[in-house]
């Protein structure tokens, strides 16, 4: 069966209401993410020429990776860190990256970064947790103990020196200067390395990623970028965000069409992340 999805506000940023439609059983099973930053990638699959080509399911990033690992999905939008853990084939040319501040991956701390000893992390994206560890280690010389915690900023800061908030919940945080320290991890990475940061890519099991399938994913992204004002109107209403915030986030902070510099940044990140995870597997070729 395939899923026709529309977005509704939910506790993790957005829940997707999915209506089941009968389809042929040989459609590729695609696991997408319910965060705002993924919307342009799937807009063509939901509303454009690629509609009906795939069986769509929506989850948080780490769950998409698990769906691929278990065989429940053929292709998924997975945290780039997952390429150190699974033997996956990457669909080139499209994904989720930033070339500066990303706004939706925030480290919020009660003390300067160098003094962080404990970190409460929303672990729904393994890339974000790995990125926080890499930046704290390499840029600030901090190696905090990381504990998983639901994305509740005040509760997180009651049990740890710092909190890692990602996705739509991060967009709701007021980052005005005050007693707390705010670190945008996209900006931190770019300043530290001079390279883009790739947070997630479309990837699939061997045999699922054909040239035709890859082209369909790139065209779905292109369709979303060409219909950005439709996305802004729809997502601002569904997620209860100001339209200006949605537009700025999707057009200025998030990059969906990836080039060689993006992949250079991804390879560097994976190398740094592997050094913190010595038992991790080598990443897939991209």
> What are the residue boundaries of the structural domains of the chain, listed by start?
2-97+196-276, 105-193
pLDDT in tens, 178-219: 879 999 999 999 999 999 999 999 999 889 999 999 999 999
What per-residue confidence (pLDDT) applies to 214? 98
Specify whether the CB–CB gap between 213 and 96 falls below 8 A. no
Residue 67 — pLDDT band, cuts 50, 70, 90?
very high
Least confident of 11-15, 37-41, 129-133, 149-153: 11-15
Alpha helices in the chain (DSSP H): 39-47, 61-70, 126-140, 153-159, 168-171, 185-193, 211-226, 228-239, 243-248, 260-276
Strand 162-166 relative to strand 105-109, pairing: antiparallel
For residue 279, what pLDDT is reported?
A: 54
Cβ-contact 3, 20 below 8 angstroms: yes
The model's confidence at residue 7, banded by pLDDT at 50, 70 and 90, is very low
More confident residue, 182 or 85: 182
CB 204 within 8 A of CB 114: no
pLDDT of residue 94: 98
Cα dihedral: 33, 224, 81, 35 (round 10): -30
pLDDT tens track for 112-142: 999 999 999 987 778 899 999 999 999 999 9
What is the mean pLDDT of the segment spanning 158-181?
A: 92
pLDDT of residue 3: 35
pLDDT at 23: 40
**For 21-65, what is each residue's pLDDT tens digit?**
334 457 999 999 989 999 999 999 999 999 999 999 999 888 888
Instruction: Say yes or no to pLDDT of 84 above 90.
Output: no
Domain 2-97+196-276 top-level CATH class: alpha beta
Give 248-278 pLDDT, tens digit per residue. 999 999 999 999 999 999 999 999 999 987 5
Answer yes or no: is pLDDT of 282 > 60. Answer: no
Cα distances (Å, whole numbers) of residue 198 to 102, 104, 165, 257, 264: 11, 13, 17, 11, 9
What average pLDDT score do residues 73-77 get? Answer: 97
CA of residue 275 relative to chain centroid, distance: 22
pLDDT in tens, 211-243: 999 999 999 999 999 999 999 999 999 999 999
For the domain covering 105-193, report its CATH number.
3.40.190.10
Which pLDDT value is given to residue 117?
98
Quote the CA–CA distance of 4 and 47 in Å, as a whole number.
9
pLDDT at 20: 33
Let me know if 257 is exposed, middle or buried by CB neighbors in 10 A (0-12, 13-18, 19+): middle
Say what the pLDDT of residue 286 is.
52
The pLDDT of 63-85, averaged and rounded, is 92
Distance CA 55, CA 35 (A): 18
């Amino acid at each position: 069966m395939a899923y026709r999805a529309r977005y509704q506000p939910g506790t993790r940023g957005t829940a997707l209401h999915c209506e089941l439609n009968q389809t042929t059983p040989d459609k590729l099973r695609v696991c997408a993410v319910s965060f705002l930053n993924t919307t342009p990638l799937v807009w063509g699959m939901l509303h454009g020429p690629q509609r009906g080509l795939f069986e769509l399911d929506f989850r948080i990033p780490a769950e998409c990776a698990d769906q691929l690992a278990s065989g429940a999905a053929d292709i998924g939008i997975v945290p780039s860190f997952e390429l150190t853990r699974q033997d996956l084939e990457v669909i080139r040319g499209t994904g989720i990256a930033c070339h500066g501040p990303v706004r939706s991956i925030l480290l919020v701390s009660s003390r300067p970064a160098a003094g962080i000893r404990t970190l409460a992390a929303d672990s729904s994206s393994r890339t974000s947790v790995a990125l926080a560890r890499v930046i704290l280690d390499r840029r600030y010389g901090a190696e905090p103990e990381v504990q998983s915690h639901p994305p509740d900023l005040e509760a997180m800061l009651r049990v740890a020196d710092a909190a890692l908030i990602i996705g739509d919940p991060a967009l709701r945080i007021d980052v005005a200067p005050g007693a707390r320290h705010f670190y945008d991890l996209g900006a931190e990475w770019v300043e530290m390395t001079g390279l883009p940061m790739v947070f997630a890519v479309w990837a699939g099991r061997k045999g699922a990623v054909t040239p035709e399938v890859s082209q369909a994913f790139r065209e779905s992204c292109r369709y979303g970028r060409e219909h950005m004002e439709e996305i802004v109107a729809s997502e601002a209403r569904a997620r209860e965000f100001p339209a200006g915030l949605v537009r700025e986030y999707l057009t200025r902070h998030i990059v969906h069409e990836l080039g060689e510099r993006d992949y250079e940044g991804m390879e560097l990140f994976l190398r740094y992340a592997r050094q913190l995870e010595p038992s991790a597997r080598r990443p897939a070729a991209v």
